[in-house]
Amino acid sequence: MTRTRPARLKPGDTVAVVAPAGPVPAEPLDAGVAVLRDWGLRVEVGKHVLDRHPDVPYLAGHDAHRVGDLQRAWCDPDVAAVICARGGYGAMRMVDLLDWDAMAEAGPKVFTGSSDITALHQAIGDHLDLVTVFSPIVAGESFDPTAQKYLRATLFEPESMLSLTGPTVATMNHGTATGPVVGGNLSLLSSCVGSSARPPDDAIVLLEDVNEEPYKVDRMLTQLLRAGWFTGVSGIALGSWTGCGEPAEVYAVLADLLGGLGMPTVWDLGFGHVPAQLTIPLGVEATLNADAGTLTLTEPALV
């Protein structure tokens, strides 16, 4: 699998901030936008980013408005990157409403976000065959100085972010694997079974989640396993499991269900809902060395 890599950012580029999922608080949004501007970027905030759906308050406004903000940003030739303000829930509702033909005609853009934004990462990969960036959300608690450093380096100097690891990474299953990096948030991946492509052959899968009890993690992984979702996968990189219970209990669930697959697997690579969150490109080729606890990209995420 060789996906198109968008162009890296440079000072003076215009980026658009959109809210495809949950409502966005004004104060952290302002703080995140200020960081982007400090990087020398021109920031356009989508018209409906601060909306809240009047009847379904866990959504950042109506589906049509959220879709419109993202569609306009992507199809604007002056916009170099589309940056998601936060996760929550709602991105999956947008996938079938976007005009993928128009977005393909507009050409490649940098796309960033994580958590619920996993649904859009998958869809952009399926429909547009683009590399995307699984990164901290700019209006979220995890957008701390270290996370900002990793994201900025990936966007502006991607060759400096080829070898990725975390401070508490550990080996779950030994070995090395090479293939394209895919995945993201477990809840969204399991919810998209049947409506999105399965991982390509030899894929290295990222998995993380937040505020899901161990039995729910078990249920979602079991769903993926029963659907044959891991067929052909060559390695697994696990991220953070904040709020999912005692780490030892979560580890036991993951080891019980994934250990038997016999593929290289690392625990806690350092991405997901965690301070100092790593930025990890999706759709690029990489090597996972489970013994060293590293994920090494074969080429920069952006050209």
Catalytic residues: 115, 208, 273
| Residue 184 φ/ψ region, left for φ over 0, alpha for ψ in the -120 to 50 degree band, beta for the rest | left
Question: Residue 296: is it exposed, middle or buried by C-beta count within 10 angstroms (0-12/13-18/19+)?
Answer: middle
> What is the 8-class DSSP label of residue 20?
S
Q: Where are the alpha helices (DSSP H) in the chain?
A: 26-38, 63-75, 91-94, 100-106, 118-128, 145-156, 186-191, 214-226, 247-258
Q: Token digits for 74?
A: 């992507």
5: DSSP letter: P
Closest of 291, 47, 16, 271 to residue 154, by C-alpha: 271
Tokens of 275: 């301070």
Residue 40, number of CB atoms within 10 A of its CB = 12
State the pairing for strand pair 265-267/170-173. Answer: antiparallel
The neighbouring-strand residues paired with 303 are none
User: Among candidates 93, 250, 275, which has minimal Cα distance to 186?
Assistant: 250
Q: Which residues, listed in sequence order, are joined to residue 117 by a DSSP beta bridge?
A: none
